[in-house]
Amino acid sequence: MGISSKTIGLHGDTLQIAIMQTPAARELVVGYALTSKKAKSFLQPKLRGLARKKGILFVAIDQKRPLSDQGPFDIVLHKLTGREWQQLLEEYREAHPEVTVLDPPGAIEHLLNRQSMLQEVSELDLSDCHGRVGVPKQLFVNTDPSSIPAAVMRAGLSLPLVAKPLVAKSHELSLAYDPTSLTKLEPPLVLQEFVNHGGVLFKVYIVGDAIRVVRRFSLPNVDEGDLSNNAGVFRFPRVSCASANADDADLDPHVAELPPRPLLERLARELRRRLGLRLFNIDMIREHGTRDRFYVIDMNYFPGYGKMPGYEHVFTDFLLSLVQKEYKRRPSYSSFEG
């Protein structure tokens, strides 16, 4: 965007007006700092191809060089951890406030720790929005494994319990059926009451204001017979995956029905505001036997968008909207000189 000036006469005096010109059409440059695995799954040919047609250029960031020596960027897209990277990015944000960073490192930290991850959800009141959303009872454990059964009893949690690593870098989880099995777990971790949900999980993808939902197969219901006949710790690599897509399966309509759209929109809007994030997903379940009782069991920053149907259109539209909002915030003229 450039600035031009125009001088006009005004009864013998001159008035110079500095006018902000409309930005010339050019590529939108998105610098990305992703792991090689993340870059491969996200920057698929269909995304790159559509981005080129829309004038969006993805450029890899060299993490060994100062960010200010690279670019210039309109947007920085990243999913890296570590204090050194966070410090580099925060310094870059301060030096280049005109660049949109997706998302602020401090805000991302909130979703990397399962002790704090669901705190904002637990404080929401969405009872007037076509359903109720909560979180399962959970307990943070950072103690000797032999003391876990007593801690669980004091907290009033009911078996079976889902055990998840405290740091949300791993999707692994375990299901513990009896008190003895709790002593075999490895802290630090979060224990979460298992809620029967018909074996279906709703993966809610958030991309700015856009919301997309897919159904995934999940862990099956647990009944009294299962508790009596099972003992020990059962480990799972993850609760759901793209290959377990349930959108086309022949499911009980009461289980398969998606959460109400108004509820999802309100939930996403509140979490975007509270977390300060624009790229994340919510894992939701519906309590089996109910229609309007939902639980958020996990959240992830910058999830596997490549598994979301039509993600390339949603994401490129989102990137373009960020730049349009930035131009709207700028003044139509800069100054008057007389």
Question: What is the pLDDT, as a whole number, of residue 183?
Answer: 94
Cα separation, 126 vs 270, whole angstroms: 10
Question: What is the pLDDT, as a whole number, of residue 320?
Answer: 96
| Fold: same for 28-103 and 112-301 | no
Question: What is the pLDDT, as a whole number, of residue 289?
Answer: 93
Whole-structure pTM value: 0.85
Write out the binding residues for 1D-myo-inositol 1,3,4-trisphosphate. Answer: 38, 79, 171, 203, 300, 304
Write out the binding residues. Answer: 38, 79, 114, 164, 171, 192-203, 218, 283, 298, 300, 304
Enumerate residues 6+ apart whose C-beta is below 8 A from 86. 105, 106
User: Could you tell me the residue ranges of all domains in the chain?
Assistant: 28-103, 112-301
**What is the residue-level pLDDT of the chain in tens, covering all 338 positions?**
444 444 444 444 544 444 444 344 578 999 999 999 999 999 999 999 999 999 999 999 998 888 989 989 999 999 988 888 988 899 999 999 999 999 998 899 889 888 889 999 988 877 667 889 999 999 999 989 999 999 999 999 999 999 999 987 767 889 998 999 999 999 999 999 999 999 999 999 999 999 999 999 998 898 877 766 676 788 876 565 555 677 767 788 888 899 999 999 999 999 999 999 999 999 999 999 999 999 999 999 999 999 999 999 999 999 999 988 655 554 443 333 33
Regarding beta strands 293-301 and 3-10, do their DSSP bridges make them parallel or antiparallel, or are they unpaired? unpaired
Write out the binding residues for Mg(2+). Answer: 283, 298, 300
DSSP class of 288:
T
Cα separation, 301 vs 30, whole angstroms: 18
Cα separation, 110 vs 121, whole angstroms: 12
Write out the binding residues for ATP. Answer: 114, 164, 192-203, 218
Enumerate residues 6+ apart whose C-beta is below 8 A from 173. 162, 163, 164, 235, 236, 238, 239
Question: What is the pLDDT, as a whole number, of residue 254?
Answer: 84
Q: Where are the alpha helices (H) located in 236-330, listed in sequence order?
A: 253-256, 261-275, 311-329
Span 28-103 CATH architecture: 3-Layer(aba) Sandwich (3.40)
CATH topology of domain 112-301: D-amino Acid Aminotransferase; Chain A, domain 1 (3.30.470)
In terms of Cβ atoms closer than 10 Å to its own Cβ (0-12, 13-18, 19+), residue 12 is exposed
Question: What is the pLDDT, as a whole number, of residue 332?
Answer: 42
Question: What is the pLDDT, as a whole number, of residue 337?
Answer: 37
Question: What is the pLDDT, as a whole number, of residue 329?
Answer: 55
Give the up-direction half-sphere exposure of residue 245: CA atoms within 13 A in the CB hemisphere.
9
CA angle 29, 35, 36 (to 5 degrees): 90
Structure tokens at 182: 């709790």
